[in-house]
Amino acid sequence: MGPVPTCWTDAMPQQKEEWFNIFRKSFDWPSGLEHVVRDRYNAICTKIYRDLIYKTVRRKKEPEHLKGDAYQGLMKKRATPEFKIKSERGSLNERGGKKEGIIEATHYGGSRSFLDRVLGKGKKKGKVEMTAPEFFVDMHSKVDDKGNRHWTKAKDKELHDAYLRDKENTPNRPDNDIWFDLVEGYKKGSVYETGEAHGVF
């Protein structure tokens, strides 16, 4: 086995193409959606691969699927100064640029997954309970005891205000269409701030 990449982006293009072709044999889609499928495929693989590497490193011993030189090579690469700098930068970004102190909330969704909230799991199973903009409000704001709405970030409120203006100007357009245009549709295989739930809107 050759060197094990520390992230999906660093995997060999030929290997990723081979895996995608295996995936293609199990599913069909219109040719016009090829770029959408590839983007979503890469987004999912990025998360799966990141989780796999994380679990491998946390175990601190060779797993059955990664033995000998491959495992040692992975650990050696993660110990380099270049990787540590990149890792620290990523951790800082996840904390909103703060090394210490309380991090501002980015979502108010609780422990339920994005998809469960959209589908109303525990209510009407499998039924889409809200539109994309309603979901955004649900995840990025909360109402206090006095009925005042608080947003996670100022830019989230600004985005929703822009949606309300567009909706007022085009009242006959579906809410999801207005929202998708506003957030510029799919980026990296998903719609802004919808996570794994984007496919049901």
pLDDT digits (tens, 9 = 90+) for 51-90: 888 888 887 777 777 777 777 777 887 888 887 887 777 6
102 within domain boundaries: no
Instruction: Note whether 87 and 118 are same-domain residues.
Output: no
Instruction: Note whether 163 and 89 are same-domain residues.
Output: no
105 within domain boundaries: no
Distance CA 198, CA 118 (A): 9
Residue 110 pLDDT > 70? no
Instruction: Note whether 126 and 65 are same-domain residues.
Output: no
pLDDT for res 135: 82
109 within domain boundaries: no
Please identify which residue in the block is written with the tokens 């309603």: 134
pLDDT for res 53: 82
Q: What is the mean pLDDT of the chain?
A: 75
User: How many domains does the structure of the chain reveal?
Assistant: 2
Instruction: Note whether 88 and 118 are same-domain residues.
Output: no
Q: What is the mean pLDDT of residues 1-5?
A: 63
- Picking from 94, 126, 158, the residue at the C-terminal end of a domain is 94
Instruction: Note whether 71 and 122 are same-domain residues.
Output: no
pLDDT top residue among 183 and 27: 27
Instruction: Note whether 83 and 32 are same-domain residues.
Output: yes
pLDDT over 70 percentage in the chain: 70
Residue 100 pLDDT > 70? no
25 within domain boundaries: yes
pLDDT digits (tens, 9 = 90+) for 4-57: 777 788 888 888 899 899 999 998 888 888 887 888 788 788 888 888 888 888
Instruction: Note whether 125 and 83 are same-domain residues.
Output: no
56 within domain boundaries: yes
Distance CA 152, CA 130 (A): 20
Which residue segment(s) compose the domain that 130 sits in? 114-200
Distance CA 150, CA 108 (A): 10
Instruction: Note whether 193 and 155 are same-domain residues.
Output: yes
44 within domain boundaries: yes
2 within domain boundaries: no
Instruction: Note whether 77 and 36 are same-domain residues.
Output: yes
What pTM, to 2 d.p., does this model score?
0.47
Q: Where are the beta strands (DSSP E) in 53-161?
A: 141-143, 149-151
Q: What is the DSSP letter of 195?
A: G
pLDDT for res 126: 46
179 within domain boundaries: yes
- Picking from 43, 65, 94, the residue at the C-terminal end of a domain is 94
Instruction: Note whether 195 and 119 are same-domain residues.
Output: yes
pLDDT for res 98: 58
Collapsed DSSP state (helix, strand, coil) of residue 96: coil
pLDDT over 90 percentage in the chain: 10
